[in-house]
Structure 1
Amino acid sequence: MTSTTTTVHRPAAPAAPAVRLRGLRRLHRDVRALDGVDLDLPAGSFTAVMGPSGSGKSTLLQCAAGLDRPTAGTVEIDGVPLTGLSERRLTLLRRDRIGFVFQSFNLLPSLTAAQNVALPLRLAGRRPSRAQVRDALARVGLAGRERHRPAELSGGQQQRVALARALITRPAVLFGDEPTGALDSTTGRAVLDLLRELVDRDGLTLVMVTHDPVAAARADRVLFLVDGRLVGEQHAPTAETVAARMAGLEAHGEAAGAAC
């Protein structure tokens, strides 16, 4: 008598999101900058956050990145809850698992591009190899620029140095606050091309606050924030659909303001 064994194939459990927010609230005096935000951001995704002025975009980014503590709710980065972490442990987490790129490049003018890129590891007590720094700069299209200081680089090149600096620790998530806001349109497109490539080629998880529909259209998903609340999203966005949605939100806000 021959016995047969039936193999049961169970679907793999879904991967944990790179960023998870639950019930996120942030009060600034009596103003609700965030008002109960629930959000999951998958690993390897590119998400843009948009909204009218004062909608809470930067506050959302700062709380999600551990730069500001929420009044209520929870934040998880790469499966690690930020709630309850001491300042020291939070600083270590930001240093090792989170990258930041801002509108102002925040490079140290007295340091070369290579020295600026190596700075996060040196601050962590590690000495990166020259090859590691060269590779980081080559990854953002700046091979051969290691010895240049910020004043010898264009705005787009300085932003690429800032990107290399953010990526050298291999963060789980990169947060960008208007990363192309200080660049002209041609240079901005080149930086956006690079960000898109880092997501598609390297599996980077990117969260970007922007006011520019063209920049937002490079993302996989656009989230719309009004008065600290998520009010909608677009998948596979285009600059035209994003601009139309923003125009509607701003018109609604102006009408609400006139009625008060």
Structure 2
Amino acid sequence: MPVRRGPTPDRGTVAAMTTQTVVLRDVRAVFGTGTRQVTALDGVSVTFERGRFAAVMGPSGSGKSTLLHCAAGLDRPAGGTVTIDGTRLDGLSEDALTRLRRDRIGFVFQAFNLVSALTAEQNVALPMRLAGRRPPATEVTAALDAVGLTGRAGHRPSELSGGEQQRVALARALISRPAVVFADEPTGALDSVTSKQVLQLLRALVDEHGLTVVMVTHDQEAAGYADRIVTLADGRVVSC
């Protein structure tokens, strides 16, 4: 299926697009049918700027995780558009969407999602190997070095602390040099000291390497590391 293209943007629009990594326009997400239908996102429009750290907050059921899943191309919205790094997701086939997620998006989740039988460096390289590519050892080392784990490359998850496992997950997200990293409660399984270390690392990656991060969190202290807080309630943006 070809990518759907809109009208050619004017110069002002092009200039704005270069500063916006993720753009959601009037996004709706609906689950269930009939009397059990639930509107998780109700016309959400929000942009996430390149090289910035954004936190998405709101009460349980406000639509935080649904927003992240739609923005990351994990779920297709019922309406509206999502654009990542200049590419509209609604015009992509499933294969093209999979490639975009693999090449342009990094993911970090609360549960780490590491393969227990693999070492840290093997976990970092795994997504590219599954895609049929062998990342140069120097790139794997650079990704681990960026998260402060060069000396732990040969250790398996069971030999690493929770914070170190989350750092491996972050290195895995960075290996493809993504346009954006989506983090869903990345410190939810960590103690307060380790959470602070991971958040400081994310902050440093934004400030020193220009990483774009969109983080869902319920923790006000964690959100304090972000440049901007987007707050949801009942599937709508109430402040940003």
The two structures have a TM-score, normalised by structure 2, of 0.91
**1:13 is aligned with what amino acid?**
A
Unaligned runs of 5+ in 2: 1-10
Query: How big is the shift at 1:135?
Result: 1.2
Query: Is residue 180–residue 191 contact of structure 1 (8 Å, CA) maintained in 2?
Result: yes
Query: How big is the shift at 1:13?
Result: 3.0
SS of the aligned residue for 1:20 comes to strand
Equivalent-residue separation in structure 2 for 1:186 and 1:101 (angstroms): 19
**1:83 is aligned with what amino acid?**
D
Unaligned runs of 5+ in 1: 1-9, 234-260
Matching of residue 185 in structure 1 with residue 192 in structure 2: yes
Any idea what the Cα deviations from partners look like across 1:33-67, whole Å, max 9, x if unmatched? 00000111110111000000000000000000000
Query: How big is the shift at 1:144?
Result: 1.4
Query: How big is the shift at 1:126?
Result: 1.1
Matching of residue 44 in structure 1 with residue 41 in structure 2: no
Equivalent position of 1:222 in the other structure: 229
Equivalent-residue separation in structure 2 for 1:56 and 1:210 (angstroms): 12
Equivalent position of 2:15 in the other structure: 13
Equivalent-residue separation in structure 1 for 2:48 and 2:157 (angstroms): 33
Matching of residue 129 in structure 1 with residue 132 in structure 2: no
Query: Is residue 26–residue 70 contact of structure 1 (8 Å, CA) maintained in 2?
Result: yes
RMSD of Structure 2 on Structure 1 (CA): 1.3
Matching of residue 91 in structure 1 with residue 91 in structure 2: no
Equivalent-residue separation in structure 2 for 1:16 and 1:232 (angstroms): 20
Query: Is residue 16–residue 78 contact of structure 1 (8 Å, CA) maintained in 2?
Result: no
Higher relative contact order at CA 8 Å, sep ≥6: structure 1 or structure 2? 2
Matching of residue 112 in structure 1 with residue 119 in structure 2: yes
Q: Find 2:145's aligned residue among 138, 147, 153.
A: 138
Equivalent-residue separation in structure 2 for 1:182 and 1:124 (angstroms): 29
Equivalent position of 1:24 in the other structure: 27
Equivalent position of 2:179 in the other structure: 172
Q: Which has the larger radius of gyration?
A: 1
Any idea what the Cα deviations from partners look like across 1:187-206, whole Å, max 9, x if unmatched? 00000000000000111110
SS of the aligned residue for 1:83 comes to helix
Query: How big is the shift at 1:16?
Result: 4.3
**1:53 is aligned with what amino acid?**
S
Q: Find 2:217's aligned residue among 210, 218, 221.
A: 210
Equivalent-residue separation in structure 1 for 2:100 and 2:19 (angstroms): 18
Query: How big is the shift at 1:84?
Result: 2.4
**Number of residue pairs matched by the alignment:** 224
Equivalent-residue separation in structure 1 for 2:166 and 2:59 (angstroms): 25
Q: Which moved more, 1:55-64 or 1:15-24?
A: 15-24
Query: How big is the shift at 1:81?
Result: 0.3
Equivalent position of 2:8 in the other structure: none
Equivalent-residue separation in structure 2 for 1:192 and 1:142 (angstroms): 16
Equivalent position of 1:242 in the other structure: none
Equivalent-residue separation in structure 1 for 2:232 and 2:107 (angstroms): 21
